[in-house]
Homo-oligomer: A and B are copies of this chain.
Amino acid sequence: MSIAGIYPPIATPFDADGDVDYPALRANAARWMTTPLRGLVVLGSNGEAAFVGDDEAERIVGEVRALVPRDRLVIAGTGRDATRATIDACRRAARVGADYALVRVPMAFKAQLTADALLRHYRAVADASPIPVLLYDFPQSFGLTLPLPVIVSLAGHPNVAGMKESSGDVAQIADQVSSTPDRFEVVVGSAPTLYASLCVGAIGGVVAVANVVPEVCVRLYELTRAGRHDDALAVQRRLTPLARAVTATYGVPGLKAAMSIAGYRGGLPRAPLAPCPPAVEAELRAMIDALLRD
């Protein structure tokens, strides 16, 4: 099975009390299933995984899985700082139906996270996880880069299926693709480089803006696969401003506001994040209108 395609790293909507808003979560999942998305990534960085407890996480994955048909994929973020906690999270995600475990690089004690330590961590997780593991590299957020030799070594593990690369470094994605066997699939996690990453061999994308405008993201993907490069680049150019706004510029609060503007139920972020101010919402609305009008 291939993970090729486009996924949103879905936002986790919270209500005014700071609790998970499950009805909103279900409504979003159901609506995403009316689009050509390949599946959903649950509790990635944009899902505020850092703010969600283990019991909440299990329920969130299960609720989403119930709404995603078996021929589409549920990828669950299960990375923790400790190896044992990561394994536990993989098992719980598998139990409630996740297809893949997306395992971020550990963040604690970076100075001790040598190549050997990273290999031991990921091998132990891949050995124990009931579902295939995807590596997750995002140096800007995790403060550590997964070195290429570590990736190449892990690509030989039968329970490691691929990786998500969110650095936005297209040369790095090109290396990851060209240095690993075809069965190890690389998806890009940075929307402004979606088209270029597909050009150099990425098999798909997990991009926050696909929470808001999934159809546009899938169109870019399909155009690139069809070899219609000029058209794909044109879509990329129109997509990039909103993609930036809902990540680098306004973060998860911006993403949630944009989702609500687009008819999804973004809900509130958890503190210390704060909701977007109205001026930002207006700016996002204008960007979405422009994007969908063109």
A1 contacts chain B at the CB level, 8 A cutoff: no
* Contact status of A272 and B113, CB under 8 A, knowing A229-B199, A240-B171: yes
Task: Tell whether, in the assembled complex, residue A121 and residue B272 are in contact, meaning their CB atoms are under 8 Å apart.
Answer: yes
| Complex: A113 Cα to B273 Cα, angstroms | 8
A236 at the interface (CB under 8 A from B): yes
Task: Tell me if A260 counts as interface (CB < 8 A to partner B).
Answer: no
State in angstroms the CA–CA spacing of A196 and B171 once bound together.
8
A28 smallest CB distance to B (angstroms) = 20
On chain B, the residues within 8 Å of A120 by CB distance are 271-272, 274
Return the contact of A195 from the options B84, B199, B237 (Cβ within 8 A).
B199
- Contact residues in B for A193 (Cβ distance below 8 Å): 170-171, 174
Question: Which B residues touch A51, using CB under 8 A?
Answer: 81-82, 84-85, 108
- Which chain B residue shows the least CB distance to A121? B272
Q: Are A107 and B50 in contact (CB under 8 A)?
A: yes
A91-135 CB mask vs B (1 if < 8 Å, else 0) is: 000000000000000111101110011101100100000000000
Task: Tell me the residues in window 50-65 of chain A with beta carbons closer than 8 Å to chain B beta carbons.
Answer: 50-51, 53
Q: A50-B81, A82-B270, A171-B190 are in contact. Are A199 and B109 (CB under 8 A)?
A: no
The reply to whether B196 and A251 contact each other, CB–CB distance below 8 Å, is no
A50-B107, A174-B236, A240-B174 known; A273+B196 contact, CB < 8 A: no
17 interchain pairs (CB within 8 A)? A45-B108, A50-B81, A50-B82, A50-B108, A83-B272, A109-B251, A118-B272, A120-B271, A170-B193, A171-B190, A171-B196, A171-B240, A174-B192, A175-B192, A195-B199, A200-B233, A201-B233
